[in-house]
């Protein structure tokens, strides 16, 4: 009876406790490092402030950022002897899977030491560390600190390999293996979608019975900045994402070619960096791909590659574009899609990965067949001819996004999960 009472008191005290959490981020802030993980953390933190004291340990920090709650890990210099540095330089020149495994372990040790040093520089030791699965860094951190660690499944490497021509590289399988070890070593695992969590369970053959599915937070869009249908302007199709295989940049171009044959005014706005795409082992840039696979000059002239754009510019394009398309071959969540839905932009998205968890076909968007330019084009052509349908999708998307993905909603789920992890430690 006494043991039960003590356990109850421990749980009760933990529930009342103001938690301190460290988030490890690839960069900071979002304006300097437009990245899905940085977006996730930056959107989440303000809604956690009443319950959680949060600090960010970033691998890179913008030069103009002075914030006591942000630690620049790149400025933490570790003492390494000459022999260790020499061995590292030699290993980086050798391309074998065995060497890559050794390099993964070297990264574990080095980055773990940097993170621990960053934590020690904080005024208060955290109750929890949250980190992405990349390189399986959790494995090294568990050995370096007693602080419980949560791994957030932002984009496990094995989900990328087949789509971006990296599964044959010597560092692919060592990294995939390292990430699996890191996930297994975690005190808690969270995922933005059921799809990626189930894929991880199946691929690594691990149960993860206490893992939680918590969506990425997306900021609500003010009414003045939400999508508005304009019949007097040319129809435009917006794509936001990298030009590469995973994001289906080629499918966006291919589908637009079909659309443009039916509609002589429609235009494509392509926003995102040009990472290139491999076709039969040959790499094509965006312009090279357009030149090779679109013969019609009148269609080429309606394709506008805008490259990297600011968040404000993208928000403006979402508001004014007729339709937004999402042509990815796989997504663990897609913040870009979620932001389009929050804007109320009518969306046509490939039914892959977690997309079906964001979009309910015919309710807040339209789903197309996976990897099918023809299906995407067919759905877009039908949609732009039905303004009432577009408006209905827009209205539903805005409400649904606020109810499921607003930072306040996600924060409550996150805090509940953090406390459950600590209760189990």
pLDDT tens over the chain, length 425 residues = 444 443 443 344 444 557 999 999 999 999 889 889 999 999 999 999 788 999 999 999 988 777 888 999 999 887 665 555 555 555 555 556 555 566 666 666 788 889 999 999 998 899 999 999 988 889 889 999 999 999 999 999 999 877 666 555 667 888 899 899 999 999 999 999 999 999 999 999 999 999 999 999 999 999 999 999 988 889 999 999 999 999 999 999 999 999 999 999 999 999 999 999 988 889 999 999 999 999 999 999 999 999 999 999 999 999 999 999 999 999 999 999 999 999 999 999 999 999 999 999 999 999 999 999 999 999 999 999 999 999 999 999 999 999 999 999 999 999 999 999 999 87
Give the DSSP H/E element, type plus range, for residue 3: helix 2-16
pLDDT at position 216: 98
The answer to whether position 14 is within a domain reads no
Q: Are 412 and 389 within one domain? A: no
Q: Helix, strand or coil for residue 128?
A: strand
**Residue 60 domain boundaries:** 19-217+407-424
The answer to whether position 2 is within a domain reads no
Q: Are 120 and 184 within one domain? A: yes
133: nearest Cα among 189, 79, 85, 87: 189
Q: How far, CA to CA in Å, does 289 sit from each of 252, 269, 277? A: 11, 16, 8
Give start and end residues of each alpha helix (H) in 263-406: 286-293, 297-300, 311-320, 335-343, 355-358, 373-384, 387-405
The answer to whether position 11 is within a domain reads no
Q: Are 202 and 262 within one domain? A: no
What is this structure's pTM?
Answer: 0.89
pLDDT at position 1: 45
Q: Are 244 and 295 within one domain? A: yes
The answer to whether position 246 is within a domain reads yes
Q: Are 69 and 154 within one domain? A: yes
pLDDT at position 94: 55
The answer to whether position 105 is within a domain reads yes
Q: Are 155 and 229 within one domain? A: no
Q: Are 387 and 416 within one domain? A: no
Classify 79 in phi/psi space as left (phi over 0), alpha (psi -120 to 50) or beta.
beta
DSSP tally for the chain: helices H, then strands E: 16, 15
Q: Are 360 and 390 within one domain? A: yes
Q: Are 173 and 72 within one domain? A: yes
The answer to whether position 1 is within a domain reads no
pLDDT at position 374: 98
pLDDT at position 134: 87
Provide the CATH number for the domain around residue 198. 3.40.50.2000
Q: Are 236 and 169 within one domain? A: no
Q: Are 398 and 411 within one domain? A: no
Please count the structural domains in the chain. 2
Show the beta-strand stretches assigned E in 204-354.
212-213, 236-240, 267-271, 277-279, 282-284, 303-307, 323-326, 347-350
The answer to whether position 7 is within a domain reads no
Q: Are 375 and 416 within one domain? A: no
The answer to whether position 58 is within a domain reads yes
């Amino acid at each position: 009876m006494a043991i039960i009472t003590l356990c109850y008191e421990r749980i009760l005290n933990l529930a009342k406790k103001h938690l301190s959490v460290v988030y490890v981020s690839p960069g900071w802030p979002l304006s300097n490092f437009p990245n899905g993980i940085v977006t996730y953390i930056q959107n989440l933190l303000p809604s956690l402030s009443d319950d959680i004291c949060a600090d960010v340990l970033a691998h890179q920090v913008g030069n103009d950022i002075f914030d006591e709650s942000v630690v620049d890990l790149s400025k933490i210099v570790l003492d390494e002897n000459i022999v260790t540095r020499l061995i590292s330089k030699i290993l980086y020149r050798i391309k074998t899977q065995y060497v890559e495994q050794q390099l993964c372990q070297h990264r574990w040790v080095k980055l773990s030491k940097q993170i621990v040093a960053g934590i020690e520089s904080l005024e208060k030791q955290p109750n929890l560390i949250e980190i992405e699965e990349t390189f399986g860094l959790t494995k090294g951190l568990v050995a370096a600190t007693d602080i419980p660690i949560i791994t957030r499944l932002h984009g496990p490497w094995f989900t990328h390999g087949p789509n971006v021509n990296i599964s044959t590289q010597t560092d692919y399988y060592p990294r995939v293996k390292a990430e699996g070890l890191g996930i297994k070593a975690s005190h808690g695992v969270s995922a933005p979608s059921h799809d990626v969590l189930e894929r991880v369970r199946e691929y690594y053959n691990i149960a993860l019975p206490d893992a939680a599915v918590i969506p990425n937070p997306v900021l609500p869009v003010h009414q003045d900045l939400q999508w508005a249908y304009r019949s007097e302007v040319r129809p435009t199709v917006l794509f936001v994402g990298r030009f590469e295989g995973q994001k289906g940049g080629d499918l966006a171009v291919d589908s637009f070619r079909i659309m443009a044959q039916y509609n002589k005014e429609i235009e494509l706005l392509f926003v995102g960096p040009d990472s290139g795409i491999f076709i039969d082992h040959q790499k094509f840039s965006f312009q090279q791909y357009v030149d090779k696979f679109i013969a019609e000059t009148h269609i080429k002239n309606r394709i506008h590659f805008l490259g990297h754009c600011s968040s404000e510019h993208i928000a403006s394009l979402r508001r004014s574009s007729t339709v937004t398309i999402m042509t990815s071959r796989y997504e663990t969540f897609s913040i870009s899609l979620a932001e389009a839905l929050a804007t109320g932009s009518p969306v046509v998205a490939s039914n892959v990965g977690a997309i079906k968890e964001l979009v309910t076909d015919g309710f807040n968007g339209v789903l197309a067949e996976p990897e099918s330019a023809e299906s995407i084009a067919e759905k877009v052509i039908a949609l732009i001819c039905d303004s009432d349908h577009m408006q209905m999708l827009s209205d539903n998307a805005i409400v649904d996004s606020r109810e499921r993905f607003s930072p306040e909603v996600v924060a409550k789920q996150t805090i509940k999960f953090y406390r459950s992890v600590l209760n189990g430690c």
